Amino acid sequence: MKNILVTGGAGFIGSNFIHYMLENTDHFIVNLDSLTYAGNLENLADVSDNKNYLFVKGDIRDKELVDKVFGNYSIDTVVNFAAESHVDRSIVEPEIFLTTNVIGTQTLLNAAKKNWNLRGDDKYSREYKQGVKYIQVSTDEVYGALGKEGMFTETTPLSPNSPYSVSKASADMLVKSYNTTFGLPCVITRCSNNYGPFQFPEKLIPLMINNCMNNKSLPVYGDGMQIRDWLHVKDHCSAIAAVLEKGRIGEVYNIGGNNEKANIEIVRLIIRKIGRSDNLITYVKDRPGHDRRYAIDNTKITSELGWSPSYTFEQGIAETIDWYLSHREWMDKIISGEYLSYYDKMYNT
């Protein structure tokens, strides 16, 4: 049994991962989350009494607290989801992305190095080569933008184009350096766009679902032809579990859903499913530096670890829309005054 520190576990992907691990393993999970606007403990209300789960409120930049968590709960594994992740916000407030995503990651790495007695010597190598201990959950956005052809592989040069993706690429490089210098038993995963239950409604799919439900306009950047590879969050969680169990230390694994879709195609699908009119679509000025296309080649993880996505996009998006339609109370609670003012700033100017 592992003692796993999951950072950012009250957020969208983190909470789904905690559910997945508690349902499928006997590992003990410590959830460290600062509960910023996107962190919602209601996502985990049904596991709050689980004997293998513990929540700790705190910031991954808090060195004293992070070190205390490692010591108090004998943490032997880290899955780092904690991050500011919305590109639009990074354009408005880049500083918090750099401090959380870069300094926060370094704080975790230092705590792991200290508490796991890592020195990069032969003793460490013999002791820790048995498996991955640290997973840095990253994003395909660190690769930059693709043209009309081709896909991102693990050897694609990093070329981030937004403050968000720069902060994630910087964190990836920190993790790599701790592997090389100190022998940290780590893996970096880079996923495509996630969707599914519990996603905060600033992201495309829940935003459009919520606006459709309330007959509000659907703001679409530019011409809406930005293409993303969509990955169901449950597939992402199973991929991370596979990396934790069978991944090779020091490697990068791309995780993609094999589902390239244009943003406008998804918006129109949601409109049809909910029974609204295309008249709700409002094209707004494109955001600065908006990457045109992402696509993931997941050959490495499928061939090495035997993982593959189980959801087709048609199945996944139908289930996701149904989930939000049946959880309107959750949506109403999570939309705070801060989110509404942010929405106005981004889309009503």
Distance of CA 260 to the CA centre of its chain: 18
223 is catalytic: no
Q: Between β-strands 252-255 and 186-191, what pairing exists: parallel, antiparallel or unpaired?
A: parallel
Give the span between the Cα atoms of 266 and 212, in whole angstroms: 13
Residue 221 DSSP SS3: strand
141 flagged as catalytic:
yes
Residue 100 to residue 94: CA distance in whole angstroms: 10
Question: Is 251 tagged catalytic?
Answer: no
Distance CA 53, CA 49 (A): 7
And the tokens for 273? 């499913």
Catalytic residue among 53, 128, 143, 164: 164
219 within 8 A of 280, measured Cβ to Cβ: no
Both tokens of 110, joined, read: 């230092």
The one catalytic residue in 141, 229, 235, 291 is 141
Phi-psi region of 177 (alpha: psi -120 to 50; beta: other; left: phi over 0): alpha
The DSSP line for 174-203 is HHHHHHHHH---EEEEEE-EEESTT--TTS
- Closest of 179, 143, 175 to residue 159, by C-alpha: 143
Q: What is the 3-state secondary structure (H, E, C) of 60-90?
A: CCCHHHHHHHHHHCCCCEEEECCCCCCHHHH
Question: What distance in Å separates the CA atoms of residue 149 and residue 29, rounded to the nearest whole number?
Answer: 41
Q: Which of 33, 140, 172, 229 is catalytic?
A: 140
Separation of alpha carbons 201 and 335, rounded Å = 7
CB burial of residue 124 (10 Å; 0-12, 13-18, 19+): middle
Whether the CB-CB separation of 133 and 76 falls below 8 Å is answered with yes
3-state class (DSSP) for residue 159: coil
Catalytic positions, please? Answer: 140-141, 164
